Amino acid sequence: MLGKLLRNLISGPHVSVEDDALRLARDLYNESQHDEAVKVLTTLIEYKPDCVEALMLCGAAKRAAGRTKEGLADLARAGRHLPRTMRRASTSLR
> Taking the model in full, what pTM does it have?
0.74
Query: What is the band of 87 on the pLDDT scale with cuts at 50, 70, 90?
Result: low
pLDDT in the model for residue 12: 55
34-45 pLDDT, tens digit each: 999 999 999 999
Q: Integer distance in angstroms from the first to the last C-alpha of the chain?
A: 39
Going from the N-terminus, what domains does the chain have, and what CATH number goes with each?
2-8+16-92 (1.25.40.10)
- CA–CA separation, 89 and 42 (whole Å): 28
Q: Which residues of 36-49 are buried (b: 16+ CB within 10 A; e: fewer)?
A: bbbbbbbbbbebee
10-28 pLDDT, tens digit each: 555 555 878 999 999 999 9
For residue 1, the SS3 value is: coil
